[in-house]
Every structure is written in C-alpha cells, then in structure tokens.
Structure 1
Amino acid sequence: MKRFLQSLVFSALLLCDVTRATYLLGAGDPHLISAQSYAQTRHNGRPPLRTLNPTQTDTQCRSRTLDLVFIIDSSRSVRPAEFDKVKIFLADIVDTLDVGPDATRVAVVNYASTVKIEFLLKNHFNKLDLKRAIARVEPLATGTMTGLAIRTAMDEAFTEQSGARPRSRNISKVGIIVTDGRPQDQVEEVSAEARASGVEIYAVGVDRADMRSLKLMASVPLEDHVFYVETYGVIEKLTSKFRETLCGLDPCAMGHDCEHICVNNNASFYCKCRSGFILNPDKRTCSPRREEVRVEVVEDPCKCQAQLAFQKKTQAAIQQLTAKLADVSGRVERLESMLDRV
C-alpha cells in the first residue's frame, strides 16, 4: 500500500512538471499557444495513412466564389512524404469548394529557391482535373524564397490574363501560403502590397515555421489567418477550418424577407420578382406591373363641343378606373401572399 501511494504521488508531481514546462515553452507567443492548442486538441492520435485520390469527392460549398492561389513551400526541409501530405491537404480543400469557370478557380505556385507556377486559374475548371494536376506537383528542393513566391503570385497568377476575374466582378481573391521554415528574403513589403491590392492571405506554418514571418504575411485579424501545426502528418486536419472559412454561409438558406425570389450574391443576397411584377422601392416586396391604357381622342369633324367634352370625360373616367383596378389587384396579391405564409 505504501509503495502504491508513493508511485501515485510521484506520477502527480511528474504531470505537474510536464504541464509547467509546456506552458513556459509557449508563454512568449499567444498566437503560437493558440495554434498549438488547436493542433493538440483536434489531432490526438496517429492519423491514418492516406494517399491523394483524385476521384474521391466531398461536400461542396455553394455560396462564396473565389480566385484561390495556393503558394506552397517545397524546400529541402520538406521531405517527400511530407510534401505528399501537403498535396493531400490541397486536394482536400479543393474537394470542399464549388469549382467551375463561373465558381471558384484554383492555381498552385510552388517555390523553394526558385518559383514555379504549376497551373493557373484558367487551366482547370473541375475537381478531378485539379486534383490530378496537384498530384503531379513535385518538390523543388533547396531554398525558401517566400517573398519571391508571393511576388510571382501577384504578377503572374492573380492577373486577368491568367484567369483571375476583373475587380469589377467583386470576386474574392485568396492566397494560402504553406511553409515549414524561415523566409530567406523579405516578405513584409510584398505581403502588404498583395493585401492592399485585395488579396486575402492565410499563412499556415508547420514544425519549424517562423511565427513572426507568418504574422507579417497574413491578413488581419491574425487569429483568423495564421495557423500552426506541429507536423505535416496533421496538416490535413486544418481542412475543416478552411471549409468553414472559405465556404461561408448561404444567405437565402439562412432566411430572407424577399416576397418572391431570393438570389445569392456571394456573402449577401438580393430580391427578384416573378414575371409580371416589379420590385418595390423597399427592394423586398413586389407589385403587379401596370400596363398603361392609352385612349386616343378623335376630334369630331363638326367641332361639336358637347361630343369633345364627353370624350374627355370618358377618357378621364377610364384612367381613374384603370388606376383603381391596379391598386385593388396589388392589394389582393399581397393579401394572398400573407395567407400563403400563414
């Protein structure tokens, strides 16, 4: 019994030391603590071995349209098996998106000491082709020129010539950077330029990634745009986080106050009316389209004043009746709509 109690006390003391050491290790960086906590709480256990399967599909997000460019580090520190994990991560994200020429378009920029655009936004418009293209990407080996990669993405990937939609279309432009090291060039200025041009940047750090550099690259708020995982073996677990972030919500499905038709418009919506109706100034309700009644007054050749007066009175009466009829029709229509809702 005494030995049992001694063992129990020793185990408790050891647990306290481990907890204290873990806290002190991350105490200098609250974002690192948050990222590590996210990884530790969501990725317990050894993940099953996975390979990239281009034919496997997942659920789509249906509301947010993107011009999405992955910027991936394939320097010497990324081992071949780890790079395969990165490609699975990219394919998993593609799987969640609504991909197409009028939906989300995807490009991949691969970098080490040099930069290679693997494919552009205009090259692949379905998930199967995209995932096959991702599966063919090979690591470049040496160096970590992250700033050069961001510059290349800006100058060559996020352009209309390469398949990006015009700014007038208000299509969200998103860059996701995945790296496990410290950039060997400057990233602050080029990242700020990219963000100022309208590109939303997410920075994913793995293992030895420099947290300060990740924060310099990412958009604000940093807690929504900077992620850290301890190994490439658990990076694919971030897929659910990006699914929530990139897909957004379906505004019409979440509820609307359109009288007739709700139309999704990225993160918002607008109302339309059925055929034969026009949208009221409140941009929500609809009224019957009024057809103008034109009555031509034919002048009497004999210039009879009585007949001319009668014709004018008749024309005025017809116009008044037409206006009242349109008003009554509108009221009946709105009453029917209210009864349908009840």
Structure 2
Amino acid sequence: MTSLPWSLLCCTVFLLLSEVFGTYHPGVRDPQLIAAQSYAQTRNNGRPPVRTLNPSKTDSQCRSRPLDLVFIIDSSRSVRPGEFEKVKIFLADMVDTLDVGSEATRVAVVNYASTVKIEFFLKDHFNKPDMKKAISRIEPLAAGTMTGLAIKTAVNEAFTEQSGARPRSRKISKVAIIVTDGRPQDQVEEVSATARAAGIEIYAVGVDRADMRSLKLMASIPLDDHVFYVETYGVIEKLTSKFRETLCGLDPCAMGHECEHICVNSNASYYCKCRSGYILNADKKTCSLKPVKVEVVEDPCKCEARLAFQKQTQAAIQRLTAKHILSVHLENMVGHL
C-alpha cells in the first residue's frame, strides 16, 4: 500500500524538474520550439566546460598533406572578448591537428576588423608550441568588418614567397579559412574570385549572425564542402574534426588495424596485403602460404626413347597376337579334317 504514494511522489518530482529544466515535453515536435530550446541550452545550461589556450599541449594523429594555410579571423566589435577567446582556442586546436613544420604545413594568421593586421606569417613559426604562443597573444581589433580587405591583404601579403609561401612549382596547396560572425562592409565577390583564380582554396565559416550569401560568395566550390555555419562561438571547436577530415591524411594503420602481415593506408581507410610467398585469405585480413605448383620437366630425349619403345612393344605384341590367332585357326582346321 505504501508503494503507490511513493510512485506518485516520484512522478510529481520528475514532472516538476522537467518543467524547470525544459527536458520533458511529451508530444512536442515544434521545430521552432526545439531550436529555441537548443539555442538557449547552448548559450546557458549546455555550455561546455571552460577551456583556456594551453600553448605547450599538443596532440595530433594527423599526417596532413603539406599546406600553406592562412586563417583570416574576424575580430570586429560584434565578437565579444570571451567569444574571441573561443576563436583562438579553435585556431590552437587546428594547429594541434596539423603536421606543422618547415617542410610540412606552414600557418599564418590574418586578423581583421576595420583594419587588417597580419599576426604572423607563414615563415615565422615552424613548431606548434611557438605557433600557439603567438595565437594566445592575438588581441581583437574591434570596429567594422572589412572582410574583402582582409582577403585582399592575405593574397597580396600573406600568400607570397617573401612571407613564406612555397613556390608554385612545389605544388603545395594554398588554403584560407575565414571565420566571421557578421556581414562584410565591403565587397568580397571580386577579391575572393581573384584569390581562387590564384589557386587559393577558400573555406568560409559563419557564426551566429553571419551572412550566408557572403559566405557562399567567398568560398570555393563545391559550396557544401567549403561553407560551414555554427550557432555560437561556444561550439566552433566542433568544426575542428570536420577540418581534420578535410585537411588531414589520417593514418588508420597507425591507429590500429587487423591485418596479419601488411597494412596499407587508403584515403581514410586501409586494406591488408601479404608478404611475398603468401596469399590473402577470404577474410581480407589473414594470410596463408601460397600453394606451390610443382612442374616435372623430363628429358625430352628420354620421353622420345620411351615412346619409341612403347610403339615397338605394341607392334611386337600385335604381331605375336596375330601369329597366335593364325596358329589357333590352323589347328582348328586340321582337327576338322
């Protein structure tokens, strides 16, 4: 009898808590309400743990193809100080993701608002700790949003050989990643087209109030692969894994495989091979000894001699058989006389 009141009490408490925290809405499927709740939860209750930029910490399983990579970051007035710190953490995470080095990926950062400031060039830092320290020292510029000017400055000053970009003959990919939360106050279409014509691949990341049309005008095609949008700077770090897939050549074999003999990387996956003298089994993982086909090569002279002997023997047997048949036939004739 005591279990029923207790059950009712539990249900009542659960419903009250659900109303307070907005986690229980039976039958509610209103997309706008769900989106509003998700947004509010991200901005308030659902905030991730506070992170700070740690220049000494590096963690990478990525073997990125060599890049000349320039980040173009918006630090206009609309980007609050706390949000700008999120951008810097995103940059640091991206650096951790890449294979940084003089002969690997080189990184530069262009900071912009109404004015443009190149925080460091492609030739300045070739190791992750130094690069992350330089990122941690970046300060917002405030004021307007001159995105077109920032792209033009990146092309004319950051992507030059004097600033550390590799010569075109080296065929090193040139990539720009633009991060902005607003609408450009200048023209971006023409300068972006010029940059793309110069061989620069452009990714456009929009945050919060970013103008989607402008992002599409700036980005390379296909747009689905080069335009990204996040609701807040608080979740921009989630894009790190996306860029990791795009910019990195992950090493699945190094991360663990099931091949008995040899693991071969293939894009984002791998396949197995066997050492010489073995064949791959049906499971495509294990190997077995290759069957040895034994070929007996006989002396052709010996074969001819054996064949000649066989022919002579057959002929002799045929002659003897014929004589025997004739003898029997004659005996039978004599017996009837």
Which band: TM-score by shorter chain?
A: 0.5 to 0.7
* 2:64–2:98 Cα contact (<8 Å) kept: no
State the partner residue of 1:91: 92
After superposing the two structures, state which structure 1 stretch, 177-186 or 218-227, moved more.
218-227
State the identity as a percent: 78
1:237 paired with 2:238, answer yes
Per-residue deviation at 1:337?
3.9
Q: Give the Cα separation in 1 of the matches to 2:145 and 2:216.
A: 17
SS in structure 2 at match of 1:248: strand
Amino acid at match of 1:182: R
Structure 1 distance, partners of 2:96, 2:252, is 22
What is the match of residue 194 of structure 1?
A: 195
Q: What corresponds to 2:316 in structure 1? A: none
Q: 1-side partners of 2:102 and 2:68: how far apart?
A: 10
Q: Distance in 2 between matches of 1:22 and 1:183?
A: 30
Q: Distance in 2 between matches of 1:50 and 1:231?
A: 15
Q: 1:11 to 1:94 in 2, by over 3 A?
A: closer
Name 1:228's counterpart in structure 2: 229
Native 8 Å contact 1:67 1:173 kept in 2: yes
TM-score scaled by length of structure 2 = 0.65
Query: Separation in 2 of the partners of 1:252 and 1:190?
Result: 41
Amino acid at match of 1:158: F
- Deviation at residue 121 of structure 1 after TM alignment: 0.1
Q: 2: CA distance between counterparts of 1:188 and 1:21?
A: 36
2:127 is aligned to: 126
Q: How many Å separate the matches in 2 of 1:140 and 1:20?
A: 35
Counterparts of 1:60 and 1:11, CA distance in 2: 42
* 2:46 match: 45
The Cα shift of 1:132 comes to: 0.2
Asked if the contact 1:205/1:227 (under 8 Å) is kept, the reply is yes
Aligned to 1:160: 161
- Matched letter for residue 187 of structure 2: Q
Q: In the alignment, which residue of structure 2 is the partner of 1:19?
A: 31
Per-residue CA deviations over 1:155-196 (Å, capped at 9, x if unaligned) read 000011100001111111110000000000000111111111
4+ residue segments displaced more than 3 Å = 10-13, 20-23, 249-254, 336-342
CA RMSD in angstroms, aligned pairs only: 3.5
Q: Do the aligned partners of 1:206 and 1:230 also contact (CA within 8 Å) in 2?
A: yes
| CA spacing shift, 1:95–1:63, aligned 2, 3 Å | closer
Per the alignment, in what secondary structure is the counterpart of residue 54 of structure 2?
A: coil
Alignment-derived partner of residue 172 in structure 2: 171
What TM-score, normalized by structure 1, do the two folds share? 0.65
Distance in structure 1 (CA, Å) of the matches to 2:179 and 2:25: 39
Equivalence map 1:272-291=2 (5 Å): none
Matched residues in 1 for 2:145 and 2:116: separation? 10
2 CA distance for matches of 1:71 and 1:120?
A: 12
Q: Could you say which residue in structure 2 is the equivalent of 1:308?
A: none
* Alignment pair present for 1:215 and 2:216: yes
Runs of at least 5 residues in structure 1 that lack an aligned partner in the other structure: 26-35, 255-261, 268-335
Cα distance in structure 2, aligned partners of 1:116 and 1:234: 26
Q: Which residue pairs with 2:145 in the alignment?
A: 144
Distance 1:161 1:11, change over 3 A: closer
Larger-Rg structure: 2
Contact 2:208-2:232 within 8 A present in 1 as well: yes
Question: Contact 1:63 / 1:250 at 8 angstroms: preserved in 2?
Answer: no
Aligned length: 247
Deviations 1:86-108 (A, max 9, x none): 00000000001111000000000
